[in-house]
């Protein structure tokens, strides 16, 4: 059989290029010591000075990772650094990949469903690893740590230190450098620091004594699927002008800001420059990007699953908002029925526009899917009006919210999305599960200046672009036809362009006309033949 020429080995070391240098081994050891301290804390080893041990632990993890990366990349000439990726057990679904995958999955299960094992004590003094993070949490927000604070801190540390690794690895590419600085900044400032500081303001007079919900400003609905729940709306509305401004910002984000930015730059402005999930995938997940499934079957599954999630989140949010609205227009202008009619009108407009003007650009199954989903939602809304008051549609809004939160918010985005990085690649959540990515992708496919341009006839079909596409796009299938890549799922990370040995791919924004163009005969051949065969 002509399959692989090399067996992924179980050993962490081995022959070049999969072997580790002495420096890398020591760096790994140091990082493990840092993780070990956290693990000891989980098992309730009592650390006398929490601040000191937290600093020691996080420093050991950070310095270990930075040292490892510096040793691996900074010593070499700038360029593509993929030597041995498919020989190393960690990056080719070998033994260590399964160890890390299982450990991460276990961590997520404990985090979401058994936080008490991490030492969470509600209404009392925290213990275990959460207690270790109390000093940092109190410094920032003034409150004791929760499991989410521990997770948020580790998440941010991971993005920063693996971001540094990425910066060394791709230091020849200014696009990659700027993009990585951007995700590191948005994670540190917007996801981590600002919400903690906002929490400090709660009860303060500039909020009229109100209490803002935890709000990562760059986290847009529907990724932030809980943004319009009752407790958050109450929080916003109780917090004076700032609260109202934040609520309006949250609504504008999805309906105005994201469409404009996606039109101009493609969905990459969000998915690979701003988003926190993307940030982790691009930094800590970079070693696993080649594991995504490139088959046409996987693509089909992706289209159905991710769009079903969009339908799910739309229904769920509609039901939740509906459940707390009143019926009396004199009390508040937005009532249950106005709201439902509004949703129906909006969906009809979007659906009508896509079907009227952009039908040709959709795959056959996408057309059927869109029609199917549209009919279902409209039927549910109609059903509601005919069935009178009580619960919305056929379901209780609370049941809908809970199942979404459990299935999508926890299992899909956390346990599978991140826990399975070393098995399925780094963007499983973004590709199959994220409703935000799906909505931006819809805009990107149909109405955006963004494309990956294929450079005439220069493609040699080598497959580096497809192999290293974290979204599982078979980039080569387009490039070797001389066709631009315009795919809903493309997050614009730019790695296909970076790994291309012949300079074939360029991410760019340009005119809509001629954005999607497939050629049967490529540039470089007889011009008469090209004109003959490529006419459409």
Partner 1 sequence: MEHIVIIGNGIAGVTAARHIRKLSNKKITIVSVETDYFFSRTALMYVYMGHMKFEHTQPYENAFWRKNNINLVRAKAETIDTQNKKIHVKGRPTKFYNKNIHIPPVDGEWISYDKLVIATGSKPNKFGWPGQDLEGVQGLYSKQDLDLLEKNAPNNDRCKRAVIVGGGLIGIELAEMLRTRDIPVTVLVRESSFWNGVLPNGDSHMINEHIREHHIDLRLNASLKEIVSDGNGKVKSVILEETGEEIPCNVVGLTAGVTPNIDFLKGSGIELGRGVKVNRFLETNLEDVYAIGDCAEQQEAIGHRKPVEAVWYTGRMMGEVLAQTLCGKRMEYRPGHWFNSAKFLDIEYQTYGWVFPERKKTDSEIHFHWRHPQEKICITVAFEKDSETFLGINTFGIRMRHEVLDRWLTEKRNMDHVMAHLADANFDPEFYKGFESEIISKYNADFGKSITLKKKSLIRIFQ
CA dihedral 248→272→469→367, nearest 10 degrees, is: 20
- Looking at the Cβ atoms of 6 and 264, the one nearer to partner 1 is 6
**Residue 462 CB, nearest approach to partner 1 (Å):** 4
Among 307, 301, 303, 299, residue whose Cα is nearest residue 477 = 299
Nearest-angstrom CA–CA distance, 385 and 396: 16
- Pick between residue 265 and residue 393 the one whose CB is nearest to partner 1: 265
**Smallest gap from residue 469 Cβ to partner 1 (A):** 11
- Does residue 522 contact residue 529 with C-beta atoms inside 8 Å? no
| Region 391-410 residues binding partner 1, contact defined as CB under 8 A | none
Rounded Cα gap, residues 414 and 516, in angstroms: 35
Q: 39-43, long-range: CB within 8 Å, 24+ apart, which pairs? A: 41/119, 41/128, 41/129, 41/131, 41/132, 42/117, 42/118, 42/119, 42/128, 42/129, 43/128
| Nearest CB to partner 1, comparing residues 204 and 515 | 515
6 lies in the binding site for partner 1 (CB under 8 A): yes
**Which residue number, 91 or 258, has a Cβ lying nearer to partner 1?**
91
Find tokens 């490039």 and name the residue. Answer: 479
Give yes or no for residue 89 binding partner 1 (CB under 8 A): no
Judged by CB under 8 A, the number of residues near partner 1 is 70
Residue of 4, 51, 387, 399 interacting with partner 1 (CB under 8 A): 4
Nearer to partner 1 by C-beta: 1 or 356? Answer: 1
Q: What is the DSSP letter of 205?
A: G
CB 274 within 8 A of CB 218: yes
User: Does the protein bind partner 1 through residue 520 (CB under 8 A)?
Assistant: yes
Task: Answer yes or no whether residue 524 interacts with partner 1 by CB under 8 A.
Answer: yes
Residue 20, phi then psi, degrees to nearest 5? -105, 140
Stretch that binds partner 1, among 31-39, 98-106, 107-115, 506-514 (CB under 8 A): 506-514
- The region of 94-102, 394-402, 426-434, 522-530 touching partner 1 under the rule CB under 8 A is 522-530
Question: Is position 10 an interface residue for partner 1 (rule: CB under 8 A)?
Answer: no
Q: Nearest to residue 318, comparing CAs of 395, 257, 429? A: 395
Would you count residue 518 as binding partner 1 (CB under 8 A)? no
Rule CB under 8 A: say whether 277 interacts with partner 1: no
Q: Is 253 in the site for partner 1 (CB under 8 A)?
A: no
Q: Does 70 bind partner 1 (CB under 8 A)?
A: no
The H-assigned helical ranges of 133-193 are 134-140, 147-169, 174-186
Q: In angstroms, what is the minimal distance from the CB of 286 to partner 1?
A: 14
Which token pair is 464?
């580096």
CB of 11 to partner 1, least distance (A): 13
Q: Which is nearer to partner 1, 207 or 498 (CB)?
A: 498
| Phi, psi torsion values for 326, nearest 5 degrees | -95, -175
Q: Which residues pair with 450 in a beta bridge?
A: 509
**Exposure on the CB side of residue 208, measured as CA atoms within 13 A:** 10
Least Å distance, CB 12 to partner 1, is 16
Q: Contact between 15 and partner 1 (CB under 8 A)?
A: yes
Counting Cβ atoms within 10 Å, is residue 356 exposed (0-12), middle (13-18) or buried (19+)? exposed
Smallest gap, in angstroms, from Cβ of residue 112 to partner 1?
A: 35
9 binds partner 1 (CB under 8 A): no
Q: Is the peptide bond before 222 cis (omega within 30 degrees of 0)?
A: yes
Helices (H), 358-508: 364-387, 397-404, 421-424, 428, 435-446, 464-467, 475-479, 495-499
Query: Does position 448 bind partner 1 by CB under 8 A?
Result: no
Q: Do residues 484 and 263 touch, judged by C-beta distance below 8 A? A: no
Q: Which stretch binds partner 1 (CB under 8 A): 31-39, 299-307, 435-443, 505-513?
A: 505-513
Task: Rule CB under 8 A: say whether 182 interacts with partner 1.
Answer: no
Q: Which of 85, 140, 408, 415 binds partner 1 (CB under 8 A)?
A: 85
Could you say which of 171, 204, 396, 506 contacts partner 1 (CB under 8 A)? Answer: 506
CA 439 to chain centre: 13
Binding pattern to partner 1, positions 293-332, x when CB under 8 A? --xx------------------------------------
Q: Cβ closer to partner 1: 60 or 499? A: 499
Sole binder of partner 1 in the list 464, 478, 486, 489 (CB under 8 A): 464
**Least Cβ distance, residue 78 to partner 1 (angstroms):** 7
Smallest separation, CB 305 to partner 1 (Å): 21
531 near partner 1, rule: CB under 8 A: no
> Would you count residue 480 as binding partner 1 (CB under 8 A)?
yes
Q: Is 527 in the site for partner 1 (CB under 8 A)?
A: yes
C-alpha distances out from residue 274 to 187, 308, 437, Å: 8, 24, 12
Q: 3-state DSSP call for residue 358?
A: coil
Choices 33-41, 101-109, 375-383, 527-535 (CB under 8 A): range interacting with partner 1: 527-535
The span from the CA of 170 to the CA of 168, in Å, is 6
Binding mask 141-180 for partner 1 (x = CB under 8 A): -------------------------------xxxx--x--
Residue 110 buriedness (CB in 10 A; 0-12 / 13-18 / 19+): middle
Rg value, the chain, Cα: 25
Residues making contact with partner 1 (CB under 8 A): 1-6, 15-18, 77-80, 82-88, 172-175, 178, 295-296, 453, 455-458, 460-464, 466-467, 476-477, 480, 494, 497-499, 501-503, 506-508, 510-511, 513-514, 520-530, 532-533
């Amino acid at each position: 059989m002509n399959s692989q020429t090399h067996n992924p080995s179980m050993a962490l070391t081995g022959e070049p290029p999969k072997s580790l240098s002495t420096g890398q081994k020591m760096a790994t050891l140091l990082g493990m010591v840092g993780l070990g301290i956290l693990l000891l804390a989980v098992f309730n080893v009592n650390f006398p000075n929490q601040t000191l041990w937290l600093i020691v632990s996080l420093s050991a993890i950070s310095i270990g990772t930075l040292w490892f990366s510096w040793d691996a990349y900074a010593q070499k000439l700038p360029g593509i650094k993929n030597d041995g990726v498919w020989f190393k057990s960690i990056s080719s679904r070998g033994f260590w990949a399964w160890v890390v995958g299982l450990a991460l999955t276990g961590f997520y299960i404990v985090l979401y469903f058994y936080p008490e094992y991490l030492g969470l004590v509600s209404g009392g003094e925290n213990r275990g690893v959460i207690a270790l993070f109390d000093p940092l949490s109190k410094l920032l927000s003034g409150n004791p740590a929760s499991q989410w604070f521990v997770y948020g801190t580790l998440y941010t540390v991971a993005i920063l230190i693996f971001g540094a690794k990425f910066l060394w690895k791709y230091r020849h590419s200014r696009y990659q450098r700027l993009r990585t600085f951007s995700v590191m900044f948005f994670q540190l400032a917007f996801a981590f620091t600002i919400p903690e500081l906002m929490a400090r303001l709660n009860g303060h007079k500039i909020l009229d004594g109100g209490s803002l919900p935890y709000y990562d400003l760059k986290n847009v609905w529907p990724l932030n699927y809980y943004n319009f729940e009752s407790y958050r709306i109450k929080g916003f509305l109780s917090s004076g002008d700032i609260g109202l401004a934040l609520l309006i910002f949250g609504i504008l984000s999805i309906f105005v800001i994201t469409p404009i930015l996606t039109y101009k730059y493609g969905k990459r402005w969000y998915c690979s420059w701003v988003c926190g999930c993307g940030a982790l995938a691009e930094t800590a997940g970079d070693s696993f990007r080649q594991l995504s499934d490139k088959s046409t079957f996987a693509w089909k599954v992706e289209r159905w699953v991710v769009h079903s999630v969009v339908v799910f989140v739309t229904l769920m949010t509609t039901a939740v908002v509906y459940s707390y609205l009143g019926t009396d227009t004199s009390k508040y202008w937005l009532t249950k029925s106005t709201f439902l009619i509004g949703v129906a009108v909006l969906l009809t407009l979007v659906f009508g526009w896509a079907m009227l003007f952009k039908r040709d650009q959709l795959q056959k199954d996408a057309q059927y899917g869109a029609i199917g989903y549209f009919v279902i939602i409209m039927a549910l809304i109609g059903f509601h009006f005919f069935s009178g008051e009580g619960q919305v549609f056929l379901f209780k809004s609370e049941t809908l919210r809970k199942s979404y939160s459990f299935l999508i918010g926890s299992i899909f985005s956390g346990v599978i999305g991140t826990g399975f990085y070393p098995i399925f690649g780094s963007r499983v959540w973004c590709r199959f599960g994220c409703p935000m990515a799906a909505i931006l992708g819809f805009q990107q496919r149909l109405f955006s200046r963004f494309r990956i341009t294929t450079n005439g006839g220069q493609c040699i079909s080598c497959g580096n672009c497809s192999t290293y596409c974290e979204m599982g796009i078979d980039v080569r299938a387009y490039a070797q036809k001389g066709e631009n890549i315009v795919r809903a799922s493309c997050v614009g990370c730019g790695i296909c362009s970076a790994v291309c040995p012949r300079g074939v791919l360029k991410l760019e924004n340009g005119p809509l006309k001629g954005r999607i163009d497939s050629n049967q005969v490529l540039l470089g051949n007889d011009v008469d033949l090209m004109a003959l065969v490529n006419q459409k």
